[in-house]
Amino acid sequence: MSDKRYEMDLVGGPILKSILAYTFPLIASGILQLLFNAADMVVAGRFAGSVALAAVGATSSLINLFINIFLGLSVGSNVAIAHFYGAGMNKEVSETVHTTVALALICGVILCGIGYYAASPMLKLMGTPVEVLPHSVSYMKIYFLGIPALLMYNFGAAILRAIGDTKRPLYYLTIAGVINVILNVIFVVFFGMGVKGVALATILSETISAILVLNVLVRTDSVVRLEIGKIALHKDKALRIAKVGLPAGFQGAIFSISNVLIQSSVNSFGAIAVAGNTAAMNLEGFVYNSMNAFHQTAISFTGQNMGARKYNRVKKILTSCLGCVFVTGAVIGILSYVFGNPLLSLYSSDAEVIAYGLRRMQVIMLTYYLCGIMDVMVGSLRGMGYSIMPMIVSLLGACAFRIIWIFTIFKMIHTPECLYMSYPISWGLTFSVHLLCFIFIARRRLKE
């Protein structure tokens, strides 16, 4: 099957027009994914109660902690393939594709075991409310049985994005998401399975999305064609992926540790606060995924242009992505807060739950664009092949700052608003340092 119609030219033509054409399917994918995740929350909250809603939400930061380091490797694959593809090195592209799939399989099996057996002790360590704990453990154990499929979809989508294809991952996600919603209704509403039904619907839909993305890689006639018999770890390609992917994954994991501490702090306010925080976080996801699309765009565009040695386009790509992500984050964030009450009421009819959700949204939604511009800076640096530098800056500027904030400022002013303020302050600090790093690297590149 000919797939050229899905591939985009990322190294030529008008930059802003190409960025928007590439990013819109990514934004749609992110929003659809969140809509389907929101369906999980809505079904849990409306048909299984606030405790079920809190149980699903209490696992999110811990799940992210486990999977982020492995998903970071998909970023490494994206950068490596984009570099080789931009340079026209087809053999290296093929070897990287087969190495990527091998890594997805290995990491999926390892993570499945870790998450399944660590669920109960880790959730207890986080101080998950007693009435929520058993439901959270059940949800997390079932969820991690589907982790191999989750990684396979994400690694496969990263391969397609590296060559400019953001449309087919959107199509596959749509199909899987619709199935997820249908299964949610069947398992929770009709069979009364509660959080177990939500988790089961999730892993079945993730399996479908993985099958669809693998199918297109096997059938394609493009340079990223996957041949099952050739799946293997090519040492040089695995090291190249790890060079960018491991720091990216480690950064994501450390971010999740700070979020786990924040979740533990939220837990101290009780189950109602956890439920409100969960609903608000789910709404934030719509803004974050819309902004994160420009982060992924910066990686792929910068990667291909670095491979093609078109360094003069890299700065233009960055400024275009920064402008787009600022507008996206500011507009959607403000609108989300303005309509926060009716949006939160979709998740729960409990007035206290809604009130707690609004307290979080007031701080986060109105400043969320800071997170977007910070992530775009990181994406540009990673696309240039630098991953350790943004990792160190992010760990100090965001993670370490939040941890210090929790044990100092929050300890003195024990309110949800004080806890949430650690986010926008850390985003602004980290963006500023990343910008200085980019200026330094760009000047050095021009001299070379």
**pLDDT tens by residue, 375-388:** 999 999 988 888 88
pLDDT for 162: 87
SS3 (DSSP) at 443: helix
207-254 pLDDT, tens per residue? 999 999 999 999 988 889 999 999 999 999 999 999 888 888 877 777
pLDDT for 1: 43
Lowest mean pLDDT among 154-163, 173-182, 278-287: 278-287
Q: Mean per-residue pLDDT for 346-366?
A: 87
Range 339-373 burial, b when 16+ CB lie within 10 A, else e: ebeebbeebbebeebbebbbbbbbbbbebbbbbbb
Which amino acid would we find at residue 198? V
Lowest mean pLDDT among 144-153, 196-205, 426-435, 439-448: 439-448
Which amino acid would we find at residue 193? M
pLDDT for 13: 82
pLDDT for 357: 87
Instruction: Give the pLDDT band of residue 6 (cuts 50, 70, 90).
Output: low
Percent of the chain whose pLDDT exceeds 70: 97
Per the model's pLDDT, the better-predicted residue between 217 and 35 turns out to be: 217
Inter-residue contact 279 to 56 (CB < 8 Å): no
pLDDT for 191: 87
pLDDT at 411 over 50: yes
DSSP class per residue in 65-108: HHHHHHHHHHHHHHHHHHHHHHTT-HHHHHHHHHHHHHHHHHHH
Tokens of 110: 């390892």
User: Residues 273, 278, 279, CA angle at the centre, nearest 5°?
Assistant: 105
- Average pLDDT of the residues of the chain: 86
pLDDT for 5: 65
Per the model's pLDDT, the better-predicted residue between 259 and 315 turns out to be: 315
309-345 pLDDT, tens per residue? 888 888 899 999 999 999 999 999 999 999 989 988 8
pLDDT for 440: 87
pLDDT for 3: 60
Q: What is the 3-state secondary structure (H, E, C) of 152-190?
A: HHHHHHHHHHHCCCCHHHHHHHHHHHHHHHHHHHHHHHH
pLDDT for 181: 87
d(CA 345, CA 361): 14
d(CA 144, CA 253): 17
pLDDT at 364 over 70: yes
Has this prediction a pTM greater than 0.75?
Answer: yes
Lowest mean pLDDT among 39-43, 423-427, 439-443: 39-43
Q: Mean per-residue pLDDT for 300-315?
A: 87
pLDDT at 446 over 60: no
Percent of the chain whose pLDDT exceeds 90: 37
